[in-house]
Copies of this chain bind each other. A is one copy, B any other.
Amino acid sequence: MFEAKLPNASLLKKIVDAIKDLVNDAPFDCTENSMSLQAMDASHVALVALKLDNGLFDMYRCDRTINIGSSVANLIRALKCANNDDSCMIRYNDDEGDTVLFTFVDEKRDRSQDVTVKLIDIDSEQLGIPDQKYSAVIEMPSSKFQKTCRDLAMFSDSIVINASKGGVTFKSHGDTGGSTLVYNSSSSADDDDSGKIFFNVKEDVNVTFSIKYLNHFAKAASLSNRVRLSICNDVPIAVEYNIEDNGYLRFYLAPKIDDDQNID
């Protein structure tokens, strides 16, 4: 028996929206303490890792570790029935093994809507993600990261991220032109922090990534106002969005290893 109630269906909508272009299947692992999900994209280049601690839920009960797997398309269909401020009860009963039941309730308007979603078997193995030490960590507004990726995608399919103690640069160049965004350390400490970029650079980093994947990751901007990029030469980037201090959505992407990296 698994039963959990989110105060707002919008949280699940945003999560599914952020991963739907990367993965087709959503294998949720439910334990006593959290719901989590780990999945590679179809080309095995990017990894999605989601964790929802039970503190995010109004009610959470999980008798034993279970796997609830559904296609992302079916999840989207179910969640389209929910209004953003509906509460969302998720129920899985071992006796009715092949479906999970979502119940969306609008308490103000007296509406309750049941949606059943067919479960599927998903071959998934939890990959152990090694505890990496990164050379540089950049924390910035998630909307700014989204605009950066969208802008640079117009000029090429590679983005070069360069971090040094002096600043952070995002760069993309192609045949018709290019663009460079330079972020210096925000100094004016008395200002409002919401638009600021902070970075902590231990060693200089110069890495190249496929913009297409970063653009997919950046859609998670609706989940959190801030995003944290952790980078290191020759190591996958980690792009992390906190979920109300009780969980996270993380994306990992291996760097491109080609001449683009040497673009000036």
Interface on A for B, CB 8 Å cutoff?
71, 73-74, 77-78, 80-81, 99, 109-118, 144, 151, 154-155, 173, 175-182, 186, 195
Contacts and interface: CB of A to CB of B under 8 A. Distances in A.
Contacts of A195: 109-110
A92 to B, nearest CB: 13
A113 B179 contact: yes
A260 B83 CA distance: 28
A175 B118 contact: yes
B115 A81 contact: no
Contacts of A154: 77, 80-81
A115 B74 contact: no
Oligomer: number of copies: 3
16 contacts: A74-B177, A77-B176, A81-B151, A81-B154, A81-B179, A110-B195, A111-B181, A113-B179, A113-B180, A113-B181, A114-B179, A114-B181, A114-B182, A115-B178, A116-B177, A118-B177
A77 B173 CA distance: 13
A115 B181 CA distance: 9
A176 B76 CA distance: 12
Contacts of A74: 176-177
B77 A177 contact: yes
A181 B113 CA distance: 5
Contact of A113 (B77, B110, B151, B176): B151
Given A78-B179, A109-B195, 4 more contacts: A73-B176, A77-B155, A77-B176, A116-B177
Contacts of A176: 71, 73-74, 77, 117-118
Contacts of A180: 113-114
A177 B113 contact: no
A-B complex: 9 closest residue pairs judged by Cβ atoms: A117-B177, A115-B179, A81-B151, A77-B154, A116-B177, A114-B180, A74-B176, A109-B195, A118-B177
